Amino acid sequence: MAIIFKEPSRTFSEYLLIPGYSSAECIPSKVSLRTPLVKHKVGEEASIYMNIPMTSAIMQAVSDDRMAVALAKEGGVSFIYGSQSIADQAAMVARAKAYKAGFVVSDSNVKPDDTLADLLRVTGETGHNTVAVTEDGSPNGRLLGIVTSRDYRISRMTGTELVREFMTGLDRLVTAPKNTTLKGANDIIWDNKINTLPIVDDDGNLMYFVFRKDYDSHKENPLELLDDHKQFIVGAGINTRDYAERVPAIIEAGADVLCIDSSEGFSEWQKRTLAWIREHYGDKVKVGAGNVVDSEGFRFLADCGADFVKVGIGGGSICITREQKGIGRGQATALIDVCAERDRYARETGVYVPVCSDGGIVHDYHFTLALAMGADFLMLGRYFARFDESPSRRVSIGGSYMKEYWGEGSARARNWQRYDVGGKAGMAFEEGVDSYVPYAGSLHDNVALTLSKVKHTMCNCGALTIPELQEKAKITLVSATSIVEGGAHDVVLKESTMDTQKK
């Protein structure tokens, strides 16, 4: 008969951390969240470290070149999604690697013959008020002008007016040539008392915008993650079907680290993919693998040469794999099991293979629990999908702003390669949903708040580093009643009272 685990598989919400002794030295400003991204010999440094334990999921709705830049600025790594053409993914990687701090590729663009209604639709989706008017409506088309909120008044216009009729034309704009430095651009902005400076090439095509408001934010990014050439470190997802064509292209584009994107990693297909990469690139190309949920799966991928191993099946907020196929494991239980095996593997082989916890994160305190349970870093989808920097549209639903968020196993993404188990190409059924998540604003502000909570909690546990947290942490199971006790209870919240009175 089948092997049956007697203990139930558990989620992060079923655990709490027990406070430990905090010395006078244990303050949040001294906490380091530096963590290895790829495997290394025990006692030696990894070739790639992150300054924060956060990566963004390999998803269409989460990780493009803009997300890669934004997260690298904070000290993490984004894995640009692979469920697109090889050429398009390579182009995203190249753009992220070529990014220059302070120079922003326009994501709000219209043509001169578009209407005010078209422009408002663009600003509603992106949330940005500065819109480039280019000949073909592309981010890098020939610049004809810009539109800001000062150029139109909705209350006095019908929405049918053409952009060319109210835009600020090129003849009234201050621009700068392509070889302008960031310091030079900021000098032009201040000297001319303008808020936006377009950077154009020799043919008049828009390359970037430099904004006055970004001056302070670009002066210093102390945790930014850079390679030896002072470019941002960028990741990319691959699959187990077209790796022989995809891997060379995205490596040529500059990708620093790869990850096999698959719902289930304990397979011959991942073994073949890793073997091909090692045969053609040796250990030069860093590649993670997964996902697995037990010790056997971890050891299999570690033996196959994975540089890190992802843990988690069915725990994502848009994933319905458990409903559809009945496979998976509670994320906390899976993580504890795999991390114990990782430590055994390190003792036996002298090689430390980092573990990435992928899925199951609902609250900010789950970050700290996952790290305490042994994760070296986390991969997050829903969390990052809420921000300005994600590639999905911002829409108004019932008077509230939301961001679109869909799974790679949904009919919208149709990323069948992620769920490939051999045989005929294509999806037999959905393993993800199409949904919305509440819009949360900028990545920088939200990441700073989340990591502040993590650092404060680590200090409560008497730890200043992630390894120290894993050594010192005390974790307890909680009952359903104690979960209720942990929130506001037996009181009437003021917000609720006010809402009732309004009704």
| Residues designated catalytic | 319, 418
Longest dimension (CA), the chain: 79
Phi/psi of residue 163, nearest 5 degrees = -55, -40
Residue 171 makes CB contacts below 8 A (sequence gap 6+) with: none
| Contact (CB, 8 A) for 313 and 291 | yes
Q: Are 462 and 472 in contact (CB under 8 A)?
A: yes
**Closest among 311, 246, 259 to 287, alpha carbons compared:** 259
Please return the burial class of 274, using the count of CB atoms within 10 Å of its CB with bins 0-12, 13-18 and 19+. Answer: buried
The CA distance from 207 to 22, in Å, is 51
Of 361, 372, 377, 247, which is closest to residue 310 (Cα–Cα)?
A: 377
Q: Round to whole Å and give the CA distance between 329 and 315.
A: 8
10 Å Cβ neighbour count for 21?
Answer: 9
The structure tokens listed for 491 are: 């009181």
Question: Does an H or E element contain 494, and which?
Answer: helix 494-502
CB 133 within 8 A of CB 167: yes
Buried b or exposed e, range 57-72, using 16+ CB within 10 angstroms: bbbbbbbbbbbbbbbb
Half-sphere exposure of 210 (CA within 13 A, CB side): 28
- At residue 131, the 3 state secondary structure works out as strand
* 175 residue type, one letter: T
Dihedral Cα 485, 486, 487, 492, nearest 10 deg: 40
Burial of 279-294, coded b for 16+ CB within 10 Å and e otherwise, reads eeeeeebbbbbbbbbb
In what order do the strands lie in the sheet containing 400-406?
394-397, 400-406, 434-438
